[in-house]
Chains A and B, each alone.
Chain A
């Protein structure tokens, strides 16, 4: 079982907050000494998901966690919104699929950048995404 060493909650309700999320994720990744490439990967994934949260979810909450599990440490980020939710998750994860005029790389791309990716969503129930990158 992973133990929680630290957590931080951020609100995402305007575009500036995407930058705040990126900076918070960077701080935590540096703290557990993730390699530069791994840092860049999770920050980029968080940036994509924070923007999704704002654009498709109408804003929401981001919770960052610093974890320890055995020898490894990791950064976990939860994204939660009360927006319209995702109808077809499989389709939403596919590259090139977009409902908002973007490039359609957000979800599938973010998934490839992290070690663990968990998505829970249903129409009208909002979307909850959790990503984790282990050292």
Chain B
């Protein structure tokens, strides 16, 4: 029976391990800069251990059976860690595929003068290892996707700084287009800062927003409405002349939201509403004063 022989081969770990590790090192795709030989040997030993344990429980080589779950878990962990270290998919999958050759060699030795038995055994092993290899690549891609999603979220967060301008006044300078994904992050960040700083006025500056269409206006209005529900008022500033024109042409109505041409104007309004007054101090005439010109 082909299966029992395969199990036998895998159980004789020591010789198989030496061949396998050598194969991996000679494969030409192994990143010796990213993984040491010691570590590779440790990983390979651990894998053969897990594999032979699974074979003891269920010798069928059907990788979907529950007994093979630990094997798959091991490979998932491996491809995640290799993905993080910067291995490519093929550099990761070679771990499994490189096991083929030493296994075939060992099988050949066991099937001298039994061509049919050897063919069957080789086929079984090929199919099994191919499936494991594919599973490794799948997990690798999943891991990569997670990294990309994380970076996307980081980028969105970085692009929405909320700054405190004065006690009770915060400002959010928006840069770039405002889609619904971005709006929800903008909204969340703004509202959290409003709570933290107990600010009753928020200035949303759209100088850096290239176009304001109905969609963007809708998003802005939602943010304003949410802030109002919490007890804070918004002022929208940085409306450039051409944006003011498009807004009128598109009949975009920002309702009763206060809008200002510049952030400075908005800050003036915000201070006025908070009962704050900015005054120019009389310039002292003494020569040490900062207001005097050095030339006179």
Contacts and interface: CB of A to CB of B under 8 A. Distances in A.
Interface stretch (B19-27, B71-79, B142-150): B142-150
B81 interface: no
Contacts of B62: none
Interface in B117-152: 142, 145-146, 149
A71 B149 contact: yes
B159 interface: no
Given A70-B142, A71-B146, 6 more contacts: A37-B184, A37-B188, A70-B145, A71-B142, A71-B145, A71-B149
8 contacts: A37-B184, A37-B188, A70-B142, A70-B145, A71-B142, A71-B145, A71-B146, A71-B149
A134 to B, nearest CB: 12
B151 to A, nearest CB: 14
Contacts of A37: 184, 188
Interface in A7-51: 37
Which are the 3 A-B pairs with shortest beta-carbon distances? Answer: A71-B145, A71-B142, A37-B188
Contacts of B184: 37
Chain A: interface secondary structure? Answer: loop
Interface in B179-195: 184, 188
Interface residues of B, number: 6
Contacts of A70: 142, 145
Q: Give the interface size class of chain A.
A: under 10
A71 B145 CA distance: 8
Interface in B207-233: none
Interface in A54-71: 70-71
B224 to A, nearest CB: 17
Nearest to B191: A37
A31 to B, nearest CB: 18
Nearest to A70: B142
Contacts of A71: 142, 145-146, 149
A91 to B, nearest CB: 23
B152 to A, nearest CB: 13
Nearest to A36: B188
B278 to A, nearest CB: 37
A70 B144 CA distance: 12
A12 to B, nearest CB: 29
A70 B149 CA distance: 13
A115 B294 CA distance: 66
Interface in B4-52: none
A35 to B, nearest CB: 8
B176 to A, nearest CB: 21
A71 B184 CA distance: 22
A70 B146 CA distance: 11
A84 B145 CA distance: 45
Contacts of B142: 70-71
A98 B188 CA distance: 31
A37 B146 CA distance: 21
A26 B184 CA distance: 20
Nearest to A37: B188
Contacts of B149: 71
A71 B138 CA distance: 11
Contacts of B188: 37
A66 to B, nearest CB: 18
A71 to B, nearest CB: 5
B82 to A, nearest CB: 17
